[in-house]
Amino acid sequence: MNRVVVTGLGCITPIGNTVADFQTSLFAGTTGIAPFPHYPEAPGDTQGFRFTQSAAVKNFDPRQHLESGIVAASDRTTQFAIVAARQAALESQLTNHYSPEKIAIIVGCACGGRQAEETETIRLYTQNTRVHPLTVIRTMASAGASNISIEHKITGPTLNISTACSSGTHAIGLAFQMVRSGMVDAAITGGHEAPLTFGFLRAWDSMRVVSPTQCRPFSADRDGMTIGEGAAMFTLETLASARARNATIYAEIVGFGASADANHITQPLADGAASAMRQAIADAKASLNDVGYISAHGTGTQANDSTEAAAIHQVFGTRASHIPVSSTKSLHGHSIGASGALEALATIIGLHENLLPQNACVSQIDPTIDLDVILGAPRKATPKLALSNSLAFGGLNAVVALRPV
């Protein structure tokens, strides 16, 4: 089996549209959560929402990055994917070193082109007009993967994974396995999502799980999640190849675990999350004592945070309360299919800089959680192994294990 490392990073996020800006905001605890704009589809000033906050990408003009034809034929989520993947590919120079048929593109996107879909649906049902002829290709969840392939002339295995909030982590895990096994020589992987539309936010509002204030993972007064958007992409290759060409190595991916709760479509089960964590550790051929940081899914809902904490205790026993844990969703929000990729990016940066991200915007941890949640400021540390957790609706869990190189 090959050892697999990360040699390129790229992102478009609510806390930075470059990796450098993302890192600055991450360690400063600068949140990207802010009031969302008025939606013209909604009557009145209040718009009828129980919440008013979202984590939106700022200062992103696709015309500054993409040709006009690509802009016209793509949704915002696809545009995020193209630009983030371009950043990662340019940094690693992946396509200069590997045959196009031996590079995979495995990305996660759960919602597809929500903006294009809702815009044309409104026109169809309120004006009875002909929908735009590019609507189908704008709304495809796989459009991001396809456009990355086209831009870089990559002809290897290319696909999109849609597993709700675990999509990005499942994608990273599958890409890792493909490079490790030798099926491909390298991969572009990650997640992207742009779901901040009127209809999507109203749908989440109806579920009563979105915070009327702001996402505060593991907080004693947490009251729900905050919806976000964005993309994070990575280039993967073997350690031997990366060293041979003197590439920058950010971290090594050493394990992947995935499970299904098989219990309830929305209520998480600790057993399922615990199983995925155990699998990732076993796949890494590591011990429980090696784990020195957990990037939690940490949505800020009562059910998720309590269940994830219970799963951590189930796996690590008496050591659980001594492992540093944080969720970065209070900074970049919950970007659904992209969330695992954004959190993997934060974890990789933390390992590379020997500085673990803080659980921002929280002052008092729920005492029933009984975890070492990082508060106040990033924590200097050199963990042997880190886990990045994603726990999705439908009971679909994915965990990636990483270590510094």
Q: Which residues are tagged catalytic?
A: 165, 297, 334
Which among 333, 301, 300 has a CA at the least distance from the CA of 34? 333
Torsion sign across C-alpha atoms 352, 333, 61, 189: positive
d(CA 155, CA 142): 15
What is the b/e burial string over 246-279, where b = at least 16 CB atoms within 10 angstroms of the residue's CB? Answer: ebebbbbbbbbbbbebeeeeeebbbbbbbbbbbb
Q: What distance in Å separates the CA atoms of residue 144 and residue 19, rounded to the nearest whole number?
A: 19
- What are the two backbone dihedrals, phi and then psi, of residue 403, each rounded to the nearest 5 degrees? -145, 155
Distance between CA 49 and CA 381 in Å, rounded? 41
CA 12, CA 85: separation in Å to the nearest integer?
Answer: 10
Can you point out the beta strands (E) in 73-145? 103-108
Say whether 158 sits in a helix, a strand or coil: strand
Find out whether 161 and 142 touch, Cβ atoms under 8 Å: no
CA distance 31 to 13: 11
